[in-house]
Structure 1
Amino acid sequence: MSSTDSDPGSARPGGRTARNTAAVMRATLDELGEQGYQRISVDRIASRSGVHKATVYRRWGGVEGLLAQALDWASGWHWEPVRTGSLYTDLISLNEEVAAGFAVAPERRISYATIAAAFDSDTAAEALRAYMADRHRRSSVLVAEAVARGEAPEGSDIEEVVRASVAPIYHRLLVCREPVTERHIHQAARITADAAAAGAFLIEDHPDHNPL
């Protein structure tokens, strides 16, 4: 992934404010991954980013403000899901990317530390929810395209299809602390794609909705 070229607070795209913002946000995420939420500090982030501590405090306040802004900043990175031409294989690719985010250093450290921080900080939890909502929204284009191809009925809740596919991956990684295999990735995608095709994700007010 790559970061955005500018920051909403910059006087001009690519200016010093934008560069400072990117440096502080990157330092915040790196410190979070290396130190964990309980051990990061404004001093360490300022030192790592090369931005004066007073500037960091003035713009973002303490650690909670920095973490919330860093997640919001990360949501602005260019990202879109891989298209393969079918919902089943699209969901496989999505599940693989989720699993890789918790398996490849340094991303894995940041992923785990961000979720841990959400249990210690309401601000971090709110920021994480917003970040994940953005990822689900972007991923839902896969389901919208599958509906257009006739692989799932009109009126399907496209974001819920995404959630259903990735949920077993997160469960194994974060609740059970189990390794995720290719079989698990394919199985979750297969079950979800089949359920979507059968109309299991139709919104409640749709005339064909059949509550289980």
Structure 2
Amino acid sequence: MYRRWRDVGGLLADVLDAASYDDWQPEDTGSLPGDLAALNHQIQTALTAQPPITTALIAASFRSDEAARALQRFWEDRYARCEIVVQRAARRGDIPAHTNARQLLIAATAPLYHQLILLRTPPDPRLPDHAARSAALAASAGAFSNPGGCPFAPSAGGANGTRLS
């Protein structure tokens, strides 16, 4: 192992980087709440799987700069792939055209990470759907809408601050 990777962080970085070569795409259920719920169910499954590979990768990112950078690249890739969920909803007229995809996706998925990773609570089978409905309702009311761009986004392009208009 140490011939190829200097440490466990290097190994985990390769694992995370390999995930960017898969063909995963978010499900298209025909509705924003449905798409977000499908995404949340996948997240809950990954966070509660045994052995806990996803949580181990997250934990390793706090111990290795290389793993942390790889995890950041992984999240950027996943947010970019999930942006289509928000674009479809905007095209259907379910949410404002200038909805910030990153903000909406974080709002929809954050409750799962908070409950399962931070609080370490047992999985609640209702949480993925509830979080999805709540975020979709907030988005339809314009909560993630910012015609001038998103001042909270880490950068001004891609899923970070994309305006869909």
TM category (shorter chain) comes to: 0.7 to 0.9
- The yes-or-no answer on 1:79 pairing with 2:24 is yes
**Matching residue within 67, 74, 84 for 1:124:** 67
CA distance in 1, matches of 2:13, 2:124: 32
Tell me the equivalent position of 1:97. 42
- The yes-or-no answer on 1:172 pairing with 2:115 is yes
Q: Equivalent residue of 1:138, what SS?
A: helix
CA distance in 1, matches of 2:34, 2:13: 33
Give the helix-richer structure, 1 or 2: 1
Tell me the equivalent position of 2:132. 189
CA distance in 2, matches of 1:62, 1:164: 34
Q: Which has the higher contact order (CA 8 A, sep 6+)?
A: 2
Alignment of 1:6-155 (within 5 A): 42=1, 53=3, 56=4, 60-106=5-51, 109-155=52-98
Which letter does structure 2 place at the counterpart of 1:99?
Q
Q: TM-score, normalised by structure 2?
A: 0.83
CA distance in 1, matches of 2:95, 2:147: 16
Which letter does structure 1 place at the counterpart of 2:71?
L
CA distance in 1, matches of 2:62, 2:147: 32
- The yes-or-no answer on 1:199 pairing with 2:142 is yes
Which letter does structure 1 place at the counterpart of 2:79?
H
**Count of aligned pairs between the two proteins:** 149
Identical amino acids, percent of aligned pairs: 40
Please report how far the alpha carbon of residue 204 of structure 1 lies from its aligned counterpart in structure 2 after TM superposition: 5.7
Which letter does structure 2 place at the counterpart of 1:189?
A
The answer (yes or no) to whether the contact 2:79–2:105 under 8 Å persists in 1 is yes
CA distance in 1, matches of 2:8, 2:86: 37
CA RMSD of aligned residues (A): 1.6
Please report how far the alpha carbon of residue 125 of structure 1 lies from its aligned counterpart in structure 2 after TM superposition: 1.0
The answer (yes or no) to whether the contact 2:40–2:128 under 8 Å persists in 1 is yes
CA distance in 2, matches of 1:167, 1:179: 16
Structure with higher Rg: it is 1
Return 5+ residue gaps in structure 2 as ranges: 150-165
